[in-house]
Amino acid sequence: RVAMSSESPAHVQDGSDGPLLKPAAGAARLRELVPGVSGMGRYQVTGPDVQVLQFLLSPGERVVAETGTMMSMAPEVTPGIDCDFARCMQRCCSGESCYFATFTNSGSGNTVLSLTPNIPAKVIPLEMSASSGSFYTKSGAFLAGTGDADVGYESDCRCVRCALSGQGCCRQVVTGTDLVFLAAMGTVMVKDLAPGEVLVLDSEVLVAWEKTVAMDVRFQNSVGMAICSGEGLANTVVTGPGLVVLQTYNRQRFQRAVFMYAQAARMALNMNGCELAPVTMRGVHDAGLPTRAAASAS
């Protein structure tokens, strides 16, 4: 279901014969996914981090991807925009843009397309034909897809789960029968849960889970644990059967780290008499450059 590299690190053992969690990685080399059947053909994930996803496109082959992810492509690849008005609201609610970029091989031979995530991330290939064909995913996790890959959303009407599970009230749903690629940060781990098997998670680590997996929250067992442990008021609980994909880092933690660093740098410069604009999470227009008066005074 998740393509595994033959060069993956050693498994984390639980004392039994099988691995507890398995590090996920992209294919180590070009390989045909379904020989003679798959219209996709071959793909390759390159690099230890901030990875590159390369497709070997056959004539007429089409890839749909998150906007801004194209790194390079052959001149035979024709780019385009997929803006289905009926799907626009669903994509926005799922955490994606209204628009998706499309890349089609318009030539007569195989050609190459290279994509890379918009965040410092690893690429997770999901072989949808080997699973239930439908996954819930972290908002904004979708990177690219082939064949009939599609992105939508489902509403979660349970208020407690919306507030505490880390997934919000609108869950991103990816479907398809060929390939879907997600972006995740840090070390990526996967586990295939047996029927009734339960895994308790930090609320920020869950990237994707099959629709056959039940997801809920569990409150901490004491007020002291909720206040002082750093784990929050509740944990996320997933119950099998089905595949779950986890990450050790995420976009929100990355943004908080950058924001805290920018604030600390601004305070240090202000103490040295260099007046800076306020630092906000939006950050781009409040970049924090020295004013002309401060520069002249120095």
Q: Does residue 128 have a pLDDT over 60?
A: yes
Tell me whether the omega of the peptide bond preceding residue 241 falls within 30 degrees of 0, making it cis: yes
Q: How many beta carbons lie within 10 A of that of residue 87, not counting itself?
A: 16
Q: What is the pLDDT of residue 276?
A: 56
Q: Which residues pair with 12 in a beta bridge?
A: 21
Residue whose structure tokens are 């260099």: 274
Alpha-carbon distances of 144 from 31, 94, 201, 253, rounded to whole Å: 18, 15, 26, 23
Partners of 125 in beta bridges: 181
CB 138 within 8 A of CB 206: yes
Model confidence pLDDT, tens digit, residues 216-267: 888 776 666 666 666 667 888 999 899 999 988 877 777 777 777 777 777 7
Of 18, 50, 21, nearest to 246 by C-alpha is: 21
pTM of the model: 0.72
Residue 41 has pLDDT above 60, yes or no: no
- Contact between 246 and 205 (Cβ < 8 Å): yes
Question: What residues does 80 pair with on adjacent strands?
Answer: 102
Output the pLDDT for position 37: 28
Contact call for residues 185 and 122 (beta carbons, < 8 A): yes
b/e map 196-226, b = 16+ CB within 10 Å = eeebebebbbbbbbbebbebbbeeeeeeeee
C-alpha–C-alpha distance, residues 76 and 109, integer Å? 9
Residues 6+ apart with CB under 8 A from 57: 41, 63, 77, 103, 104, 105, 110, 111, 112, 113
Burial class (CB in 10 A: 0-12, 13-18, 19+), 287: exposed
283's enclosing H/E stretch is none
- Return the closest-CA partner of residue 56 out of 132, 112, 9, 134: 112
In tens, the pLDDT along 77-97 reads: 999 988 776 666 666 665 566
Higher pLDDT, residue 46 or 37: 46
DSSP per residue, 170-209: EEEEEE-SSEEEEEEEEEEEEEEEPTT-EEEE-TT-EEEE
Q: How far apart are CA 121 and CA 284, in angstroms?
A: 21
Backbone angles phi, psi at 4, to 5 degrees: -110, 140
pLDDT-based confidence at residue 106 (cuts at 50, 70, 90)? very high
- Please give the DSSP secondary-structure letter assigned to residue 22: E
Task: Provide the 8-state DSSP code for 58.
Answer: P
Residues written for the chain: 298
Mean residue pLDDT of the chain comes to 74
195 confidence band (pLDDT: 50, 70, 90):
very high
